[in-house]
Amino acid sequence: MPQLVFATSNAHKTEEVAAILGEAWQVEDLRAHPGVLLDEETGDTFEANAIIKAVSGSRGTPGLLVLADDSGLEVDALGGAPGVRSARYAGETADAADNRAKLKTELAKLGQPTPFSGRFQCCMVLARDGKVLHITHGSVEGRLLTEEVGACGFGYDALFIPDGFTETFGVLPAETKNQLSHRARALAEMKDQLASLT
Ligand code: IMP
């Protein structure tokens, strides 16, 4: 089975990528490569930050195929925030609960109308030995709630209802999220490229 290093320490993201790619790939993340340090995410787009992670991650794992994802939530009524700052919305040391609390506060300040339109965005970059091989994008449109519903998933999942559904990603089964998420769509675009490299 070919090996793919996913340049993250976010176990939730890795679980999703491994489930979406299935048996065809042995997916491991930076927990298996603790010496690899990713460069700081200084970009102001998802693509720029995904390139930073893929290039720095692949320099640290010579010869291996490295996939990186940069992703986040955009809320139209907040001018696209939290966007590329999704992981640090409530501050540099914020955790997911802090970020959700900050988002709920910002949405509550806006008042009506609720729910608010928005989307998850994902850019995936494939690299080897510091060179970018392929870049894909995926998104899923939906609505933001001002109160959390459900305990599945991670990050902002409990606040987001994808279009066409009535429940949040915090309630929908992982199998459903993994068929329509921003990450699933970016990976679907990446699959042919991955297949051509095996
Ligand atoms: P990154 O690790 O710099 O790409 O930050 C991604 C951040 O966006 C995460 O920490 C979450 O807050 C948010 N995010 C990305 N994808 C998802 C998702 O599928 N569900 C919920 N939150 C997500």
Q: Nearest C-alpha to atom 8 of ligand 1 is from which residue? A: 72
CA angle 120, 112, 85 (to 5 degrees): 30
Kind plus residue range of the DSSP H or E element containing 141:
strand 131-144
Band the pLDDT of 112: cuts 50, 70, 90: confident
Longest Cα–Cα distance of the chain, Å, equals 53
Q: Is 168 in the pocket of ligand 1 (CB under 6 A)?
A: no
Q: Is 71 in the pocket of ligand 1 (CB under 6 A)?
A: yes
pLDDT(151) > 80: yes
pLDDT(113) > 80: no
Q: Is the whole model's pTM more than 0.85, yes or no?
A: yes
Predicted pLDDT at 114: 79
Average pLDDT over residues 81-104: 97
Q: Structural domains in the chain?
A: 3-196 (3.90.950.10)
* Spatial distance between the Cα atoms of 45 and 188, rounded to a whole number of angstroms: 21
Provide the annotated active-site residues. 70
In three-state secondary structure terms, 160 is: strand
Q: Is 70 in the pocket of ligand 1 (CB under 6 A)?
A: yes
Q: Which atom of ligand 1 is nearest to the CA of 169?
A: 20
